[in-house]
Amino acid sequence: MKKFIALFLIAALLLGCTAGLAAAESTLTFAVTSDPSSLFPYGANRGGKQATRTLLYEPLFWIDADGVMQPILAKSYESLGNGEYEVTIFDYIYDSAGNHMTASDVVYSLGLYIADGKQPANYSALTAYEATGDYTIRLTFGNEHLGNFEALVTNLYCITQAAWEASPDQMMTTPVGTGRYALKEFKAATSYTFVKRDNYWQTDEAYIVDKNKANIDELNLKIITDTSTIAVALEKGEIDYTQNIEDADRPNFRNEDGTAKAGYVSKGFDTSNFVHLTFNCSENSPCADINLRKAICYAIDAAAIAFNIQGSNGEVMKSCLVPTVLDADYALYAKDDYYACDFTKAADYLAKSSYNGQTLRILVKPNINTNTAATLIMAYCNAIGINVELLAYESALYTEYSLNEDSTLYDIDLTGLSGTDNYAWKSLYELDVNSYSGVTNHNFIYDEKLQHLYDVAANAATGGPEASAALADYVDENCYIYSLYTYDVIYFGRDRITKIANGGANQESLYNAFELAE
């Protein structure tokens, strides 16, 4: 009986969420490889989470493709100096359940975001936050880093405390947000359907930008974990759009010169995406030996991995630091001989190391770039006599392991950071002890010089090209992180799409702002 009542309540809430929705006319179906797992706005920043979050919820601000900060929930902000900012939100915000949003709700949301703990780089420098009025919030950053404020206010998706407390399942399947869309129906791990709200709170057209447009009446999200299956679905017309197509299938939709084939559209966006290894340098891992770390790096053919996964779209890295960050000059830190594949050097470093046949455990971030890279890395290591085991977990478990500060769980983290990592400090946040326990970093060590270089590069007053180059040089010299390749994001769709909208600095597809042929 209790189970029946619970299911009834959830069904009733879902029906409530669809109240005030417009009848569907135009539709767009798109596919991603990862399920959001929960429609709660926070959590690991995967494709499914990004897609559902941007439709259901809203951040304070949004940085558009031209780098301009656009008001969303917040109308304005003022820098007060010394890392302090005062943010003013609109006084007429209502969520899909009719709850009025005030400054106290933003503060409450920020508390939930921090407690969730999945995106520490966005709030690690935040030392205080409080409501200073009904519609004003003060944010204080200690030792302010470049872009700290922007990263937080564009990634903090806010909810009302009333909606959160009324949710029977912490918004796992009963989302209530201020976004342009509400959940219509879903089949967990398979599909989600969202319908445009006709009672959206922002009625002033001056504040309607791509982030909060609603060009499409109904948006259908399909979860298809296999990228080849996604490609087939696009060919068959079962989906309209995706960015999850691997290089092997791209010739079906794209010509060699990068133009789209008949019946399709294709668009690429510059990003800071890159794939890299972070070594466990603690005494609990064989990778504490720098000679072993260098042996691994020289054994890996990063160019072959880049081409195998991304084709001509993959670019081999020349430093640990991605070339597109805003606070660096690539010419100052790029090295043409950056751990270029050399089996002779790999064998020499291995011979000088203390390695005695232990099996190295590589934690693999679950996406198409790292999964394929992992099998190739294992083969390269095996070729010079290093035994490797791949720890391939689903998204939630990977995140749990990668954030765990127990240095005995794995020896190498094979990960890939996203296009939102647009400053040197954020691109290399794994090196910062303050992003973790304050005692060790993601290498599971504390290196005083490393931390000093990181702090100088990150600080809003001292950061810049030379500081970023000094940090990158030291990391490369000590082989704390080995970056393999970088790549642009390429989106594919059917030619009924006449405009593909991209989320600017946050590099997310804004499906709500797509335009379709009549």
Mean pLDDT of 104-128: 93
Mean pLDDT of 116-144: 93
The pLDDT value given to residue 65:
79
The pLDDT value given to residue 367:
81
The pLDDT value given to residue 45:
78
Contacts of 11 (CB under 8 A, 6+ apart): none
Which stretch of DSSP H or E encloses residue 40? none
pLDDT over 70 (residue 399) = yes
More confident residue, 290 or 395: 290
Provide the whole-model pTM: 0.76
Residue 261 belongs to some domain of the structure: no
* pLDDT single digits (tens) 460-509: 889 999 999 999 999 999 999 999 999 888 899 999 999 999 876 666 88
**Percent of all residues in the chain with a pLDDT value above 70, rounded to a whole number:** 94
Share the mean pLDDT of the chain.
91
Cα 232 from Cα 31, distance rounded (Å): 12
The pLDDT value given to residue 419:
55
SS (H, E, C) 234-255: HHHCCCCEECCCCHHHHHHCEC
Highest mean pLDDT out of 119-133, 161-175, 251-265: 161-175
Token pair of 337 as six digits: 């001989």
Residue 387 belongs to some domain of the structure: yes
Amino acid identity of residue 186, one-letter, is F
**Percent of all residues in the chain with a pLDDT value above 90, rounded to a whole number:** 74
> Which residues are registered as beta bridge partners of 502?
509
Q: Crossing angle of helices 448-458/465-478, nearest 10°?
A: 150
Cα 346 from Cα 382, distance rounded (Å): 12
Same domain for 329 and 218: no
Same domain for 406 and 509: no
- Any idea what the CATH number is for the domain that residue 482 is in? 3.10.105.10
How many angstroms from the chain centroid is the CA of residue 469? Answer: 24
Residue in 150, 108, 230, 222 with CA at minimum distance from that of residue 460: 150
Same domain for 474 and 508: no
pLDDT over 60 (residue 7) = no
Strands 274-279 and 412-417, by their bridges, are antiparallel
Residue written as token pair 């670019």: 315
Lowest mean pLDDT among 5-9, 59-63, 78-82: 5-9
Residue 260 belongs to some domain of the structure: no
> Which residues are registered as beta bridge partners of 145?
459
pLDDT over 90 (residue 145) = no
**Residue 518 pLDDT level (bands cut at 50, 70, 90):** confident
Residue in 151, 411, 373, 94 with CA at minimum distance from that of residue 282: 411
pLDDT over 90 (residue 382) = yes
Same domain for 325 and 217: no
The pLDDT value given to residue 13:
40
Cα 393 from Cα 415, distance rounded (Å): 12
The pLDDT value given to residue 121:
78
Residue 1 belongs to some domain of the structure: no
pLDDT over 80 (residue 47) = yes
The pLDDT value given to residue 293:
98
- Any idea what the CATH number is for the domain that residue 32 is in? 3.40.190.10
Same domain for 55 and 172: yes
**Pair 486, 315: CB distance under 8 Å:** yes
* Number of other residues whose CB lies within 10 A of the CB of residue 262: 6
What is the tally of helices (H) and strands (E) in the chain?
15, 23
**Residue 2 pLDDT level (bands cut at 50, 70, 90):** very low
The pLDDT value given to residue 171:
97
* Number of other residues whose CB lies within 10 A of the CB of residue 168: 14
Mean pLDDT of 53-80: 94
DSSP notation for 256-301:
TTSPBPTTEEEEEE----EEEEEE--STTSGGGSHHHHHHHHHH--
Cα 301 from Cα 164, distance rounded (Å): 49
Residue 265 belongs to some domain of the structure: no
pLDDT over 90 (residue 290) = yes
Contacts of 13 (CB under 8 A, 6+ apart): 167, 168, 174
Lowest mean pLDDT among 131-145, 172-186, 304-318, 496-510: 496-510
pLDDT over 50 (residue 333) = yes
Same domain for 320 and 178: no
Same domain for 45 and 65: yes
* pLDDT single digits (tens) 206-229: 999 999 999 999 999 999 999 999
Same domain for 499 and 477: no
More confident residue, 101 or 488: 101
Cα 120 from Cα 27, distance rounded (Å): 36
Residue in 392, 295, 409 with CA at minimum distance from that of residue 347: 295
* pLDDT single digits (tens) 310-320: 888 889 999 99
The pLDDT value given to residue 67:
80
Question: Length of the chain in residues, anyone?
Answer: 518
The pLDDT value given to residue 488:
82
Residue 474 belongs to some domain of the structure: yes
Same domain for 452 and 415: yes
Lowest mean pLDDT among 38-47, 418-427, 506-515: 418-427
Residue 254 belongs to some domain of the structure: no
The pLDDT value given to residue 61:
97
The pLDDT value given to residue 369:
81
Same domain for 423 and 461: yes
Same domain for 501 and 462: no
Torsion angles phi and psi, residue 47, rounded to 5: -60, -45
The pLDDT value given to residue 506:
64
Domain that holds residue 212: 23-224+492-516
Same domain for 170 and 90: yes
pLDDT over 90 (residue 11) = no
Instruction: Provide the domain count of the chain.
Output: 2
